[in-house]
Chain A
Amino acid sequence: MTSVANAVVPGQRLGHVQEYSAGPGTYSHQDFLYASVVGIKKIIEAQGELPTLTVQRENSQSAMPEIDAIVTCKVVRVNPRFAAVNIMVVGETPCKDDFQGIIRVQDVRATEKDKVKIYNSFRPGDIVRAQVISLGDARSYYLSTASNELGVIFGTSVAGGSLVPISWQEMQCTKTKAIELRKCAKPM
């Protein structure tokens, strides 16, 4: 029950800016720090710096993609210029509603960008791990898979079997042993 004693609500004054630095769940306004979410107040001591004040949310807000975040998404549509995806998980937290994203052809891999063919990299239904590179346009976030760990992590072959990566750009069907082309993520 000690945690309840430290429970705070938005707008509650937590301390002076000279004593603490503002962490997640807090904001500073006119020399004071205030809580901005409902949750438990925590003070993280740091060597040589001001201790950081944070408020740990009680009800976590549904996840939102941020720049540089690693997201897990599902390919819904492909065309020669980009693959359209639905972002389902940001980091470790699932989103309540899917956010739309696109992986443009130039963002699929880091090298030989001009030789990339979207349909040799992604197919609809694939589950892809990607990184958010910008907030994008009014509709979609822009994602990139230009890194070894990023790319298709799960897919189904034409025959319906699941695909296993056999190289960084090939995957094999477990049923028919047919090889299909994908931009694979390095297994972790």
Chain B
Amino acid sequence: MPSLISPSERDYILKGIECNIRADGRQRPDYREVILETGVISQTSGSARVRLAGGTDVLVSVKADIGPVLVDPETGEGADKGQIICNVECAPSASQQFEGRGADELNNELTQMMTRFLSHNTTTLSTPSSTTPSSTGAPNNNGAGGINLSKLCIIPGEQCWILYVDALVLDYGGNLVDAVFMGTRAAIFDTRIPKTEVQDLGDGNFDFEVLDDAEDTEVVEGREDMPICITLNKIGARHIVDASPLEELCTEAKLVVAVNRSGELCGLQKGQDGGIEPSLLLEMIQFGKTLGQTLIKQLDAKIKAEAEADTIKRQNGQPVVKLGFFAQ
């Protein structure tokens, strides 16, 4: 991961983008090839690995764990909901700069962004205060993250499933945010949660049992509505998607647009130290939205095809072979 760029290199990239041709031959709105694979780590409830042709390599794992529900003391909200806890970590192997505390800021930025875009509760932005009081009949939609957290609750007010979403950046080749979100979406798609059986012990006491049947598991409800992110990098007067590390260094301002399959915007965040005119901002949002929808369709088709192929193989008693870590 280079940290500095020479003026001539910057000028080369800038002029290229102006002429709609980039250093690796792509045009401005072109994405690199995405290599996506699910179910790569056996220890997890769900996992995915995303690679962009330029080198970015992200591994996302989802682990389902049972824990107490988190209740907001003020509103009493959250008693009937599971939780999603996100974490992004950049491995020092990805770049010299990530060594020691070097990646702290980036880790924190990505983790917070992921928490904000994925968590159910629509008022995550106001974490310290409150959540939508369900009693007042406020609209209970599945939030920006799409996932139906109520389905993750086992015993209301006591126990729930907690999904720990951990993304590990193994290699850095630009456009980290998009890769992390693509991986997260795929990993949640891959996630299977064991079924539970709740027993009423009377006196308002409940007990539950986790069914230990690998065949009989549940998928995460609302996974189709999870958003992905499109990062638009403003370079000069133009904007590009899926920037390479060198292009990222030329970026004046970047805009992360989170969009779900029905084209609803689930989050927006500006990054880098530049400004954007409001008209361009709206244009970029529109562009990101259209592109994101197309990309989700392609990713869904890919995930579906892979899942189907695996099922057929399993039915026929054939071993399911994954590309694994040696694939190029």
Direct contact between A and B judged by beta carbons closer than 8 A: no
